[in-house]
Structure 1
Amino acid sequence: MVRDRRYDVDLYAAAHVYSDLCRELMEYGGNLAAYLLHAAKYDINPFSLGCAADGGQSLDAVVWDAARNDLHSLAKIGMLTSGDIKAELRARTGALSEMVNLLPDFTGSDRGADIENLADFYQKNGIGIYAKYRAFSFSNQEGIQPIRSFDSIRLSDLKRYEIQRQKIIENTLGFLHNQPYNNVLLYGDRGTGKSSTVKALLNEYAEQGLRMVEVSKQDLIYIGKLLHEVGQMEKTKLKFILFIDDLTFNEDDENFGILKALLEGSLTGRPKNLAVYATTNRRHLIKETFSSREGDEVHMADTIDESLSLSDRFGLTVTFVKPDKAGFLDIVEKIAADRGLEIERELLLKGAERFALSRSGRSPRLARQYIDHVQARLALGLAID
């Protein structure tokens, strides 16, 4: 089809771009100004970086002026409506009004960002996705991705183990306030709340700038990408916990050396706003293979020494062990009280002990699972057994 030379825009191509825009605006109530304000708010640029570091005090006046001009331009664009764009489409494509009117509508408004408020937002919350989210995952394939539905557990939800948690809390507060701190290894039995403690720390101190990036052991070899990204935030208030859950290594695992170098600070580019927190249920972090157990004593001793040398590099090791019967039942009672469950104490505790004996033994995780079971049955009017 020959295009009429009086018109310089292809209707079908323009309609496709226009529809993509409308799809993006749906998340912002179909308002162009709201969309642009959000884009400016979470952009990473010299102005946002400078404001996150010190409120913009160290930025040159030319950077402030450029930011003001950009915000002014965005505010003008944000006042455009679908009516303005459709009129332009008719004029530049020669399309009939009936065809253009089939396209979806959007609104505009005078909702430009105030530069002082924006600078204050950057300083208080950080920049980019780190201002919008608190928890992230890292992999070689996808890089750093936000975790949109993060475990909401709080420190107050965790029962007993007060001494262990207090050590980790104090270390984390030192990290947040630019004081000396240690990397942390949480060691102990399964289900004792090691991972939950780290997640609860994030929920407790996110407002103070704490963020968490979970990394699998297999992706440690690619950690340079993460260190570079976190290093860009080094002058901001943001502090990052690199979280490795269920840490173990096989012999000759190249990730062992990577983590060892990261912990001792010899890995190039480790930023000061990064701490490593890891959990494990193994006393020795290096798994012994059958062949190594059959090997000579010197080899076995070397394996154990390597494992201990890695553990020592964490600086702070906190041990969690399964509770005894009295401790387990105390946890059960406290969780039940938190949830306001109305049930006879003797019935609750006898049921808890039977529940534990029929499974893997007593632990805080099992106590929570039992209370979930009881709460559901009570809500349905059923007996708890």
Structure 2
Amino acid sequence: MSDRAAQSEAFERLGERIAAALERIAPPSAPPVDWTAAPAYVWDGAAARPVPAIEAPALDQLRGIDRQKDTVVGNVARLAAGHAAHDMLLWGARGMGKSALVRAASRAAAADSGGDLALVQVAPHALASLPTLFSALEGVSRNFLVYLDDLGFADGDSAGPRQLRSWLEGGVEARPVNVRLAVTSNLRSLVPKRLSDQDDPVNPRDALDDLQALSDRFGLSVGFHAASQDDYLAIVAAYADSLGLAWDASEALEWSRRRGARSGRTAWQFVTELAGRAGRAF
């Protein structure tokens, strides 16, 4: 064998050893996800992780949002049954149960439909991958509520809102018929409005209309507002009584004043404090 041939063979064997070593240290490819096996999934932009149970309060524990609850529960139930249903924007006051209601309504609808609905939460960084997710869900013999929690867009981000509008309605990559979106946000328009948005000397309303065009694409826009004192105490009662915890209204109100808010989240934090004092875990 010539020196050149020997050298070529040596390089070939070296390449094979390097390829084998890389194959050994490379992470195994994720197995294909079974979209019919779990009640919920988390989508990270490239793959889905099944979630064995949806963590949410019981629907009757969600107080002070009766109108919102009826609207969301009814819409999710229709989706689970395979009937016409809306994409939903849940917007408004922080801590008033927007996310909890999405989860609770999904869990109830899945139970009532025998598992014909799954909740798919999209990771915050994975918005641009929605077409890939839609492609995976299309054709699956199940209905899906794709959930984007606490969504917002930065100043100057025009691509994100326009993509979402296209996916909701009218675009070639719009979500399939067995998929609906549920978005929660503190902002009704999903994008911050500034006084300067109204200062365009050519078309003063174009910027505002562009913002509104996104929220208009949701069939349901459900507003949540800060709790009254009575509603706040009713929320505390729903949580504390179900756990068998004694509580005092004046202490609950003082807790809300120190927190600077009356909301479902504040009520749950107060009940957590009560449970901790009583040596309870949940």
TM-score range relative to shorter protein: 0.7 to 0.9
Question: Contact 1:286 / 1:304 at 8 angstroms: preserved in 2?
Answer: no
Of stretches 203-212 and 360-369 in structure 1, the one that deviates more from structure 2 is: 203-212
Larger gyration radius, structure 1 or structure 2: 1
Q: Does 1:201 align with 2:108?
A: no
Could you say which structure has the greater relative contact order, defined with CA pairs below 8 angstroms and 6 or more residues apart? 2
C-alpha contact (below 8 Å) 2:146/2:181 kept by paired residues: yes
Equivalent of residue 138 in structure 1, options 36, 43, 68:
43
- Determine whether 1:229 maps to 2:136: yes
TM-score (norm. length: structure 1): 0.59
1:333-384 residue CA offsets vs partner (Å, 9 max, x unmatched): 22221111234xxxx111111111111310011001101101211238xxxx
Tell me how far apart the structure 2 counterparts of residues 308 and 294 of structure 1 sit (CA, whole Å).
13
Instruction: Provide runs of 4+ in structure 1 moved above 4 Å.
Output: 292-295, 297-300
- Are positions 1:366 and 2:229 aligned together? no
* Counterpart amino acid of residue 149 in structure 2: D
Give 2:278's aligned residue. Answer: 378
The reply to whether residue 211 of structure 1 matches residue 138 of structure 2 is no
- Once the two structures are TM-superposed, the CA of residue 286 in structure 1 deviates from its matched residue by 1.9
Matched, 1:276 2:181: yes
Please give the alpha-carbon distance, in whole angstroms, between the structure 2 residues aligned to 1:288 and 1:161. 26
Cα offset, 1:130, TM superposition? 2.8
Aligned-residue Cα RMSD (Å) equals 2.4
Aligned counterpart for 2:83 among listed residues 159, 179, 189: 179
Give, in whole Å, the separation in 2 of the partners of 1:298 and 1:199: 44
Counterpart residue type for residue 155 of structure 1: L
Residues 153 and 203 in structure 1, CA contact (< 8 A), matched pair in contact too? no
The aligned residue for residue 26 of structure 2 is none
Percent identity over the alignment is: 27
In structure 2, what is the equivalent of residue 333 of structure 1? 237
1:167-218 per-residue CA deviation (whole Å, 9 max, x = no partner) reads: 1111112222232211111111000000000011222122321111112454
Partner in structure 2 of residue 312 of structure 1: 216
- The verdict on how the C-alpha distance between 1:146 and 1:362 changes in structure 2, with shifts beyond 3 A counting, is same
Whole-Å separation in 1 of the counterparts to 2:135 and 2:165: 18
For the residues of structure 2 that align with 1:156 and 1:129, how far apart are their CA atoms?
32
> Is 1:166 the equivalent of 2:81?
no
1:69-80 matches, within 5 Å, as none
Structure 2 unmatched ranges of 5 or more:
1-30
Give me the whole-angstrom Cα distance separating, in 1, the residues matched to 2:260 and 2:101.
Answer: 21
Task: Give the letter aligned to residue 57 of structure 2.
Answer: I
Helix, strand or coil at the partner of 1:153? coil
Describe how 1:1-385 pairs up with structure 2 within 5 A.
129-140=34-45, 142-148=46-52, 150-207=54-111, 208=113, 209-216=116-123, 218-233=125-140, 236=141, 238-250=142-154, 251-268=156-173, 270-288=175-193, 292=196, 295-296=199-200, 301-343=205-247, 348-379=248-279
Distance in 1, matches of 2:242 and 2:101, equals 18
Instruction: Kindly indicate whether the alpha-carbon contact (under 8 Å) linking 1:249 and 1:285 is maintained by their aligned counterparts in 2.
Output: yes
Contact 1:284 1:304 in 2 (8 A): no
Q: Do the aligned residues in 2 keep the contact of 1:171 with 1:182 (CA within 8 Å)?
A: yes
Q: Report Cα offsets for 1:33-72 as digits up to 9, x if no partner.
A: xxxxxxxxxx98xxxxxxxxxxxxxxxxxxxxxxxxxxxx
TM-score normalised to the size of structure 2? Answer: 0.79
